[in-house]
Amino acid sequence: MTVFDVLSFIGGIALFLFGMNYMGSALEKKAGGKMSGILSKFTSNKYMGFLLGMAVTTVIQSSSATTVMVVGFVNSGIMTLTQSTGVIMGANVGTTVTAWILSLTGLSGDSVFIQLLKPTSFTPILALIGVILYVFLKDSKKRDIGMILIGFSVLMFGMDAATDAVSGLKNVPEFTRLFVLFENPILGILVGAVLTGIIQSSSASVGILQALCITGQISVGAAFPIILGQNIGTCVTALISSMGANKNAKRAAMIHFNFNFFGSILLMSLFYGFNAIFHFEFINDSATAFHIAVIHTVCNIVVTSLFLPASSLLEKISCKMVRTKEDEKKEIILDERLFVNPAAALQQAKERTNEMATKAIVAISRSLGLLSSFDEKREEDIKKREEEIDSYEDIINSYLLKLSTKELSEGDSIELTKLIHITGGFERISDHAVHVAVAAKQMHEENMKFSENAKKELSIMVSAVLEIIDLTAKAFKENDLEKAQEVEPLEQVVDKLTSKAKKNHINRMLRGDCTFELGLVYSDVLSVLERVSDHCSEIAASMIEISKSSLGVHEYLHEFKSKDNPDFIEKYRKYKEKYTF
């Protein structure tokens, strides 16, 4: 093997690692948001979690990325420690798909079918398609697919180059003696763990091992402990990501480590124990890329089948290993660890914005209730909620601004922009809740009471505003554009009611039915109700406008309220009949 072969091997491995990382990033960008949403919502039991973890890792081709997502979800409280266990185990099985794809490089035969299955036959075609999609098309979805194909092609070209570069080592005695050393189980595990820990990808380290198999000098007995070590080494990424996280996130990372560590020890004991009794003949056979894929898959499936039913035991061990003197009281609202998968980070930001929306709705609803029945404790609660919502807005928007610097898909960029617009709207609604509470307190302290007619009008106004708030919140949380289109017609009805109520109240003041001071309070409350409905209209309009990536908010509202729009006219008529005085 010449120095040029060494350089070719290094270049091949570099291309392989780059291609794997590029393809993984493209896959996460394409499917990460949907996958992370599934992970955080549909892990009702450990078996479902296992299937989802396996599916997500199969799609994004990275058990490390899946596990880091899980640590972030646990740290943020989106996922419980129990839910995380099954997902982590599923990720270990899902990552074996890569080894099977790479094993295609070892196919041999003269038939046309076999030749077509070899990566050297179909990879150039995929590379050409990928370049065409990425370079010549503007559609972001097609460009993402192009990135995936380019990454896969680079990966396979790198694998092929590395394999060709080391093929000459089959006749080098020193290389043979080196891999004989790895038949020592302890040394084999250490080599596999260190290599994987350095490159932080079990799929990549398994691929490198498959490339070296072309020499014919790696026996099954040497490959087995190396693969087990690779499973242990892949835990490094999750352990690093858990640094500075809360105790449950650290425990999730430890579950990942304990699962792979104890699983490897168990498999080592079983394999070498049975070998001592039955003396396996295949242990000295030369391993191929296909053998590596089989060993990798069988090991991970066997360990999972043994540990998944006893996952609660792993959870208890991890809880014993990660102890704190007292429970953490600090709430982690958003976790930057999920920046490793921007789509997952965006999903987390949306979850927190949902919480913010709920708090804002509760605050404005309770403040409106103070107008009829004042209570000091409820007033204090509203003020605390408003401060909490202010904090939410600051943290969420800061998080989103940092996230905007990452590589996002077009859909995720649109969602990020929408969240920035919408958090501001809900924050202003909470501000108005405090204004209403202040007005209610003034009325209580000065023993002011509205006339019966004023109460009736105000009651109808409050009902309409509560409905528009509820519509807006549901539209956002469910991403329901049909509900969002219901908001603007109702907002127009609230505007009309506000104008009519102010005129009626002026007439009552002129007749002496109402004092000037009470009139000012009543006018302020009406203005607050109108502004709340305005903010709801802006939130709903932002959802629709940004989802269509077309008009600005004001242009959209102007177009939607057009006299020629029968949909708006019908909705407006419905709400006008419902709320009238």
* Listed residue (262, 271, 160) closest to 220, CA to CA: 271
Got the DSSP string for 159-193?
A: HHHHHHHHGGGGG-HHHHHHHHHTTSHHHHHHHHH
Got the DSSP string for 295-348?
A: HHHHHHHHHHHHHSTTHHHHHHHHHHHS--SS---------GGGGGSHHHHHHH
For the chain, list the domains and their CATH numbers. Answer: 3-321 (no CATH), 336-578 (1.20.58.220)
32 pLDDT higher than 70: no
pLDDT on residue 326: 47
- The tens digit of pLDDT for each residue in 278-324 reads 888 889 898 998 999 999 999 999 999 999 998 999 999 999 998 76
* Listed residue (20, 81, 86) closest to 55, CA to CA: 86
Query: Contact 236/254 with Cβ under 8 angstroms?
Result: no
Q: What percent of the chain has pLDDT over 90?
A: 29
pLDDT on residue 327: 46
pLDDT on residue 351: 85
- The tens digit of pLDDT for each residue in 136-154 reads 988 877 888 899 899 889 9
Average model confidence (pLDDT) across the chain:
83
Inter-CA distances, 440 with 151, 345, 379, 490, 525, Å:
62, 40, 9, 25, 9
Is residue 219 classed as helix, strand or coil in its secondary structure? strand
Between residues 422 and 181, the one the model is more confident about:
422
- Tokens representing 455? 């109460």
- The tens digit of pLDDT for each residue in 325-355 reads 544 444 556 878 778 778 778 888 888 898 8
What's CA 1's distance to the chain center, in Å? 46
* Listed residue (414, 425, 432) closest to 357, CA to CA: 425
pLDDT on residue 157: 87
Query: Contact 69/338 with Cβ under 8 angstroms?
Result: yes
pLDDT on residue 122: 80
Inter-CA distances, 473 with 120, 251, 426, 481, 579, Å:
53, 35, 9, 12, 20
d(CA 429, CA 485): 19
Inter-CA distances, 568 with 559, 563, 574, 580, Å:
10, 8, 10, 18
380 pLDDT higher than 80: yes
> Which has the minimum average pLDDT: 68-72, 247-251, 304-308?
68-72
pLDDT on residue 479: 83
Inter-CA distances, 172 with 178, 182, 217, 269, 283, Å:
10, 17, 9, 32, 21
* Listed residue (390, 414, 396, 247) closest to 336, CA to CA: 396
Query: Contact 318/255 with Cβ under 8 angstroms?
Result: yes
Inter-CA distances, 385 with 283, 353, 354, 363, Å:
66, 14, 15, 7
Between residues 423 and 176, the one the model is more confident about:
423
443-468: string of b/e by CB count within 10 Å (b at 16+)? bbeeebebeebbeebbebbbebbbbb
Q: How confident is the model over 392-418, as a mean pLDDT?
A: 87
* Listed residue (177, 162, 127) closest to 22, CA to CA: 127
Burial of 419 (0-12, 13-18, 19+ CB in 10 A): buried
- The tens digit of pLDDT for each residue in 487-531 reads 989 999 999 999 999 898 888 888 877 777 788 888 888 999 999
173 pLDDT higher than 90: no
Got the DSSP string for 8-43?
A: HHHHHHHHHHHHHHHHHHHHHHHHHHHHHHHHHHS-
554 pLDDT higher than 70: no
d(CA 33, CA 50): 19
pLDDT on residue 513: 78
**Helical pair 342-370 and 376-403, crossing angle rounded to 10 deg:** 160
What's CA 422's distance to the chain center, in Å? 19
pTM for this model (two decimals) = 0.67
Element containing residue 94 per DSSP (H, E):
helix 81-94
End-to-end CA distance of the chain: 93
Got the DSSP string for 223-272?
A: HHHHHHHHHHHTHHHHHHHTTTS-HHHHHHHHHHHHHHHHHHHHHHHHHH
Q: How confident is the model over 190-211, as a mean pLDDT?
A: 86
29 pLDDT higher than 80: no
Query: Contact 158/17 with Cβ under 8 angstroms?
Result: yes
In eight-state DSSP terms, residue 213 is G
d(CA 14, CA 33): 28
pLDDT on residue 274: 92
d(CA 493, CA 144): 45
Greatest alpha-carbon pair distance for the chain in Å reads: 110
d(CA 566, CA 555): 18
pLDDT on residue 175: 58
